[in-house]
Amino acid sequence: MESWEFGRTLRRWRDRVSPDAVGVPAGRRRRASGLRREELAGLAGISADYLTRLEQGRATAPSAQVVESLARALRLSGTERDLLYQLAGHAAPGLDVVPSRVTPSVQRLLDRLAHTPVVVYDATWTLVLANAPYDALMGDTTAWRGLERNAVWRNLTRHPSRVVHTEQEQADHEARLVADLRLTASRYPADRELRRLTGELAEQCPRFTELWDSEAPPPPADMSRHKVIDHPAVGRITLDCDTLIVAMDDLRITVYTAEPGTEDAERLALAVVLGTQTLV
C-alpha cells in the first residue's frame, strides 16, 4: 500500500469537508474550514490516534471496513471511494453498497430549510446529517458514535428519546424500520458494513431477530404523520413529521413542522431558538 499517498489523500479530503455538511457544529474558534481529526474519527467510528497514524503513513494496513467507514464519513463520490480503496491496497467493492453522500441537490434543500428541524438517514437508517434545529428539538446528535447513529438500534434498545410513543406505536415503528432494513439488505447484498450492522443488531437485540425472521407484513407505512415531542424546556409539541425518500441517492429526509399560528408552532420556534443558542 502507498501509505504516504493514502494519508495525504485522506488529509486533503478531510480539509475540504465543511462541518455543517456532516452535521458537526463549526463553533466560533475554528482556524480551518474542514473537519478536525477527532471529528472525522468520530464520524468514522475509529480512534483519533489511529486516524493520525493513517494520515502520517505510520499505520499501513487499514481494513476494508475502515476504508468504507472513512469514505462514508467524508461523503466521497463513487470514483473517490474507489481511489481510497486502491490506495489502501483493496479492490473496490463495486457499486452495490449503501450510499451516504449528501448530493448538491439534497444540500440545497437542507440549506433552504435552515430554520426547520431536518434529519437525513441512509437506507440502513444510519444518521448522515442532522441540522442544528433538529438537535435543538430532539437533543444533540453530534456525540453519537457507531450503533448510536442507527435509528433501528436506538429504537429496538429503547434508547432515551424525546419522542412520545404508546407501546403499540413504538412496536409498529420498530416493525416498519426492520422491514425497511430487510429490503435494504436485499438491494445491497455485498455491503460489508450493512452485514456487520445486521449481525450486531441480531446479537444485541432479540426483538430484531424476531422481526427480521417474521413472515407477518409490517404495519402500513405512514410517511406523513403527527409526532409528539416532549421537549425539556418548552413541554410537549405536536408536529407534522414527513419523511421524504430521495430515490436516486437512497436517502431518507425527515422534516418536522408545525401548523402556522398555533401554540405548537410557537413552542417549536422557542425550542429551536433555545437549542441553537446553547449549541453555538
Grade residue 19 by pLDDT with cuts at 50, 70 and 90. confident
pTM, to two decimals:
0.73
Please tell me the predicted confidence (pLDDT) of residue 42: 84
Per the CB < 8 A criterion, the answer to whether 23 and 131 are in contact is yes
What pLDDT digit, counting tens, does each position of 210-254 carry? 999 988 787 776 655 889 999 999 999 999 999 999 988 899 999
Grid coordinates standing for 188? 445491497
Percent helix, strand, coil in the chain (nearest 5)? 50, 15, 35
Would the pLDDT of 278 be above 80? no
Euclidean distance between the first and the last CA atom of the chain, given in angstroms as a whole number: 41
d(CA 10, CA 54): 8
**Could you tell me which residues come within 8 angstroms of residue 206 by beta carbon, excluding any fewer than 6 positions away?**
none
Task: Provide CATH 3.30.450.180 ranges for the chain.
Answer: 104-279
Please tell me the predicted confidence (pLDDT) of residue 1: 45
Report how far apart, in Å, the C-alpha atoms of 202 and of each of 156, 210, 249 are. 11, 9, 27
d(CA 161, CA 151): 11
What pLDDT digit, counting tens, does each position of 145-190 carry? 889 999 999 999 999 999 999 999 999 999 999 999 999 999 998 8
In three-state secondary structure terms, 29 is coil
Task: Provide CATH 1.10.260.40 ranges for the chain.
Answer: 3-87
Residue 150 per-residue DSSP state: B
In three-state secondary structure terms, 128 is strand
Class of CATH domain 3-87: mainly alpha
Please tell me the predicted confidence (pLDDT) of residue 109: 87
Grid coordinates standing for 90? 483493496
Please tell me the predicted confidence (pLDDT) of residue 280: 45
Please tell me the predicted confidence (pLDDT) of residue 185: 94
Fold of 104-279: Beta-Lactamase (3.30.450)
